[in-house]
Amino acid sequence: MRAMIWVAAVTAVLMALIGGFCGAYSSDTSRELREQVTQMTAVIRSGDGEAAMAEALRLEDTWREKSALLSLWVNHQDIDDVSVGIQQLKVSVEEGETYHALRCLAELDEALAHLYHRDAFRLRNIL
Amino acid sequence: MFTVFTRTLILYAVSVLAIRLMGKRQVGQLQPYEFVLALMIAELAAAPMENVGTPLLYGIVPILGMMLLHGLATLLSVKSTWFRRLLSGGPSVVIRRGVIQYDEMRRMCYTTTDLMEELRAQGYLNVADVCTAILETSGKLSVFPHGNKRPVTPEDMGISVSYEGIPQTLVVDGRVQKDHLKTCGLTESWLMDRLKPIGYSDPRDVLLASLDTQGRLFVQGKRDGDKMHLLQAMDENKVGW
């Protein structure tokens, strides 16, 4: 009986810790990268190609740093969508295709929002 | 992750309800909530296993959730009779004083064919021999014959019988069970003193050696053609387990 209480208590704490940590990490990563996407959109609109490339590389570095841990609980397809989006963005910036780069940024923003939205503790997701 | 957990909670509750509504025939040996747990854990574990694109935590977290729910359900079942009845239902008497309780059987979705099948499985060919039959919450049927149809017991015959406890296995597959020897208050040298005279100088040659509460030692060797030896190894009155 005592063992059962312990198992239930430890599992409850573990669940709360895993849930809390995963949720917070996904949300922070999503927010941080989306802020970078917003900044980059402004840079691209200003027409500064070099600054845009620097922003793209910074975005890539941040993503590499964060995605290793995210893949433990985020659907791997969602991770791949962001990785592919960043690569497409880099190519567009390199080629100086402003319209295509802005389209890539919009898609990337959506993919980054999706990282957290799919797991967010909302009635819509539960149902 | 809270979403996954909440979905697990909802699915668990729905599955338990569905199994409870299906009736006891579907359940077999497990309690309804344990049956659901077994089914769901297998499925939850299988999904991330076959799809590497799904993070492992998607399998682990719901299983942890199931563990938590099962722990809580078990604890509440122990503490509350009402909750136990809600979760597992109660036993149903399907034969009372030799009369089949048709209404109760219908309520349980238990057919006459099911009843006859279970009675035969329990060794009763004739339903007229049965006084009471209870359909347990595990789905198992407990059958009690009429007084004049039950087997004769030593008490009926006025015979006194000695204590029959759990026999202790002292050697299993060539390995001496030191814990069991300790339980019996015996030593390895005591065991070897009994094994040597019947041709076993090494316990590794013994497949099984078991000491019962009458002090009898059963020994079966591993070698081809070895017979089962039965010897009075100790005084019955000295048995203390």
Instruction: List the single residue in A with minimal CA-CA distance to B66.
Output: A11
Q: Do B3 and A120 touch (CB under 8 A)?
A: yes
pLDDT at B23: 56
Instruction: List the single residue in A with minimal CA-CA distance to B53.
Output: A76
Q: Do A19 and B2 touch (CB under 8 A)?
A: yes
Shortest CA distance to A112 belongs to which of A55, A21, A33? A33
Cβ neighbours around B88 below 10 Å, total: 22
Task: Specify the DSSP element, H or E, that contains B69.
Answer: helix B57-79
Of 3.10.20.310, 3.40.640.10, 3.40.50.11780, 3.30.240.20, the CATH number of B168-238 is 3.30.240.20
- Side-by-side strand order, sheet with B130-135: B99-100, B92-96, B130-135, B141-145
Residue B113 has pLDDT above 90, yes or no: yes
Between residues 55 and 74 of chain A, which touch chain B (CB distance below 8 Å)?
71-74
Task: Count contacts between A and B (CB, < 8 Å).
Answer: 68
Give the nearest partner residue to B64 out of A15, A23, A77, using CB atoms: A15
pLDDT confidence band for A47 (50 / 70 / 90): confident
Give the nearest partner residue to B74 out of A4, A76, A126, using CB atoms: A4
Give the least confident one: A63-67, B160-164, B186-190: B160-164
- pLDDT tens for B13-65 read 777 776 666 555 555 567 778 788 878 877 887 777 767 777 878 888 888 88
Shortest CA distance to B87 belongs to which of B69, B111, B105, B61? B69
| Between residues A113 and A117, the one the model is more confident about | A113
Residue A80 has pLDDT above 70, yes or no: yes
Under CATH, domain B92-149 is a member of which superfamily? Answer: bsu07140 like domains (3.30.240.20)
Q: CB contact, 8 Å: A76 with chain B?
A: yes
Query: Do you know the residue count of chain B?
Result: 241
| Between residues B59 and A37, the one the model is more confident about | A37
Q: CB contact, 8 Å: A23 with chain B?
A: yes
Residue B94 has pLDDT above 80, yes or no: yes
- Cβ distance B129 to B116 under 8 Å? no
Q: Do A7 and B71 touch (CB under 8 A)?
A: yes
pLDDT at A85: 94
pLDDT at B22: 57
Q: Do B75 and A11 touch (CB under 8 A)?
A: no
Q: Do B68 and A74 touch (CB under 8 A)?
A: no
Distance CA A71, CA A80 (A): 10
Give the least confident one: A108-122, B45-59, B60-74, B188-202: B45-59
Instruction: Confirm whether the ipTM is greater than 0.95.
Output: no
Q: CB contact, 8 Å: A15 with chain B?
A: yes
Give the nearest partner residue to A72 out of B57, B71, B72, using CB atoms: B57
Question: For A67, left (φ over 0), alpha (ψ -120 to 50), or beta?
Answer: alpha
Distance CA B107, CA B234 (A): 56
What chain A holds in terms of domains, given with CATH numbers, is: 25-126 (1.20.120.290)
pTM confidence score? 0.65
| Between residues A121 and A77, the one the model is more confident about | A77
